[in-house]
Amino acid sequence: MNGSTLGREEKQRTYRRRRLTAATVLVIVFVVLLMGTALGAAHLTSGSGMCQRCHEMRPYYQSWQHSAHRSLECAQCHIPSGTVGLLLSKIGALREVYVHIAGEGTMPLQVDSKVPRATCLSCHPEPTDATYASSSFAHAAHTSGVCSDCHRGLFHPTAPPAKPVPAAAKLGTMDNCLTCHDGTKAPKSCGACHTAPHKASGECGACHTPKSWSQPVALSVSVSREACLTCHPNVQDVSLKNSTFSHVAHMAEACAECHDKQLHPSKKSATPVSMASCLTCHDGTTAPNTCGVCHKATHAPFGECDLCHTAKSWTPVSAAEAAKRGFDHPFALKGRHAPLKCASCHKSSAAGKGAAALPTKCVGCHGDRHNGLTDCSRCHKTSGWTPADFAHPGVSGMNWRGMACSDCHPNGYAGHTCTGCHGSNGPGD
């Protein structure tokens, strides 16, 4: 190989290196220009003013201007920090450009993109836990979500589909809480957030409502007896005028079965139950409805109380009315006896004694009016003490009608003697 050949090859290699170098420089310049243009465009389109250029974004821009974050640029929250984050967000934004140009209704703008929690913490590194009357919100217990899960409406409060919200929205709303605390994603029991101001008494919802924590609902049978006993452990029996209500005898029932009007804590004591409440169970089927189940008779037993008494009045009815109801008096109460009240004769019955010991003979009440003659029915009737129907037995051989009664009955009318007038010899001797 001669020298001329080597010279040509060297020139060719030099030429190719120069072309490759030129091409590389052009590519580098192009890439630099492209990146510069992209970065410049990204920078120019990252300003908050750019957001209002599209009519789809205008409501959000206007809402931002009235929000608590109006001093910040949109990019500070919606674009991750760093060049890579900026480029990736702009690449994703091409989708919005396509939707805007094509008017593709099935591909809505991603205006509801969630701001990462780390972005919020860059300005709010130590969020303060919110303290309420009976609960506190721990931010440390909610690190799995993003801040806007609870503080929605704080950034764009008036933009669709959001509704205007008060300034207190920064503390979160109950509706926001329930989007996660639905019983599936997170517990929705009251105790998950609220600390009861009293001893545990079952699920809070049995007594309280979300609308009013201070005014509980009326007691219902859903409130267990055990829940009531946590606040009322020493329930006493109730002593009434002539009966005693035993709570022990009603252990199988929920307290609200009787105390259905009770509201806590507006009243310190249980609402007195009514006879109507008692009769809902004491109907003769579910439980006995006889008076003696609750009331203790103040006298000796004479059958069911309602033979003589009524639920409206404990004062006994008349003897005649008691007889109609089936009361079996030791002797028939007829005539002037029928309208009498029991207490007319049984004056000591109110003290719980004496009714069974009263005599059943007329003289037991009316006394001995004829000096030993006690068979009143021979002359008198129950229709009236007068007039008397007296017929003296006949006495043979004498006219007794002109004599004084004491001539024959000196020691009372239960007996008689003839010797006062006739001596030892009787009449007719």
Enter the tokens of residue 207: 């007594």
Q: What is the pLDDT of residue 212?
A: 63
**Could you list the mean pLDDT of each consecutive 10-residue stretch along the chain, which spans 429 residues?**
63 80 87 78 73 78 83 84 78 79 61 75 84 77 80 70 47 71 84 73 68 60 71 79 79 76 50 71 84 75 76 72 77 80 66 57 81 80 79 69 78 77 64
> Amino acid letter at 356?
A
C-alpha to C-alpha distance for 115 and 169, rounded to whole angstroms: 17
What is the 8-class DSSP label of residue 296?
P
Per-residue H/E/C for 108-144:
CCCCCCCCCHHHHHHHCCCCCCEECCCEEECHHHHCC
Burial call 100-138: b when 16+ CB within 10 Å, e when fewer: eeeeeeeeeeeeeeeeebebbeeeeeeeeeeeeeeeebe
Q: What is the pLDDT of residue 14?
A: 80
Return the domain boundaries, the chain: 46-126+144-185, 305-358, 362-381+404-429
Q: What is the pLDDT of residue 350?
A: 45
What is the 8-class DSSP label of residue 146?
-
Distance of CA 208 to the CA centre of its chain: 7
Q: What pTM did the predictor assign? A: 0.42
Architecture of domain 46-126+144-185: Orthogonal Bundle (1.10)
Q: In 3-state terms, what secondary structure has residue 44?
A: helix
Closest to 147 measured CA to CA, from 166, 128, 111, 119: 119
CB atoms within 10 A of CB 354: 15
